[in-house]
Amino acid sequence: MNLKIKSLSPQQKIINDLQQLDFQIYLKDKEIKIQIQIEQTIGQLIKLVKQESKKLSPIHFQGLVYLETFNGNEVADYYLTQEDKPIFKLKNITQLKGVYQQKLNENQSNQDVKIQDFSFLKCLGKGGTSDVFLVRHKESCKLFALKMISKTHLTEFKRLEQLLRERKILIDASKTPFIATLHCCFESNSHLNFLLEFYCGGELFFHLQNKKLSESESKFYFSQILICFEDLKPENIVLDVDGYVHLTDFGLSKIGMNSEEMTDSFCGSPEYMAPEVLARKGYNYSVDFYTLGAFLHELVTGLPPFYSDCTETILNNIANQELIIPQYLNNDLKCLLYQLLDKKPQNRIKSFEQIKKSKWLKDVNWIDIEQCLQPYKNKKKIKLSIFKYQFQELIQNKELRKQEIIIFTFKEIQIKVLFSNIPSLDIF
């Protein structure tokens, strides 16, 4: 019997061991018990709960949209909004509560987005000029990531230019796989806001800190990011509920730059900078291939090439030290790394097509990757909670709410004209 069980896939074993799941569901002041077959979906669970809530009273039924956990587990809470997902993933959760919609201003259309339309749940991250929050839209009850950029950081036109560039890239890439989905942009009194899809898998950097990836896992992620992204680093790559990657933060990317054009701007992360960027001699798209190589090096070894705790040492090593790749890596992989990380731009790989045709990636089914059909065994298992709770005090800080009420005068630039992006679709 034991031998037979070991031969089963994890999903088959769960379904064999458990025929049904039992949930305690709390709907306002009432509790109901739900039994559901293990092979059912989240949508079918919600349907069952709504049927039972109808038997209680209109108060318990009306406005019920989703379910959520008691402890604010953002991964499970997001999963509970995905009605086509299988229920067996919730086998370790026994108690849930109802999520009820709150009606917005009747005169407000779905295209008129306001900061007051959202409930702030937790801080997902904090940057130099922006904070990212997990929010729930009060009426639709959907979860989003809200990136808030304070207008006080836009006194320099350059920062606003970066912001508008990021907005344009996200809009232009709206149908591109593995790019973060921008639902809309809107302005509040003190902030400019990006309403983004929430990717509950968290930063790839978080997973790299926990363990080095295998070559097959590295290949799975690397094959998804063969697109131009000048500030590529694991902190700018987030995972969705299925383990696929999505690129974020395009403030430093160049728009419409072809392979022959040169730039001398000094931007990006030191660990991923090509030697010609450091030398400020002007560079073209070949730096992206170096950056991809540095990223791949970190995936398969756990660290970027030439890494040191001292930034000055990193920069010196990139410029002067010979690249040494660990011998334990696959020969085809080492060959690709040397081609991507060559110090001389003219000797580097010159196209994404060339990378795709490399021996190390010869077994990748690019159609399956683009359509997110890669077998589940290669996907990262999503932990139940992965965000940094040291940022939680930002949610509890009442100043955040106060500053949204303050009228902020920004006379230099008409931001609303430049920034607002009224959504063309009913996103809620």
- Rounded to an integer, what distance in angstroms lies between the CA atom of residue 220 and that of residue 120? 34
Select from 203, 242, 205, 260 the least CA-distant residue to 378: 242
Could you tell me the sign of the dihedral formed by the alpha carbons of 200, 204, 205, 206, in that order? positive
Q: Left, alpha or beta for 280 (phi > 0: left; psi -120 to 50: alpha)? A: left
**CA 117/CA 135 separation, integer angstroms:** 10
**Structure token pair of residue 69:** 């956990």
Binding residues: 147
Q: Among residues 77, 117, 131, 231, which one is catalytic?
A: 231
Give the long-range contacts of residues 339-346, CB within 8 A, separation 24 or more: 339/293, 340/289, 340/290, 340/292, 340/293, 340/296, 341/290, 341/293, 341/294, 341/297, 341/305, 342/290, 343/275, 345/274, 345/276, 345/283, 345/284, 345/286, 345/287, 345/290, 346/286
**Helix, strand, or coil (residue 129):** coil
Among this protein's residues, is 231 annotated catalytic? yes
**Which helix (H) or strand (E) segment is 31 a member of?**
strand 30-37
- Amino acid letter, 282: G
Sequence ranges of the binding site for ATP: 147
- As given in the structure block, the two tokens for residue 257 are 């730059």
400 token code pair: 């955040």
Say how far apart CA 285 and CA 40 lie, in whole Å: 48
Catalytic residues: 231
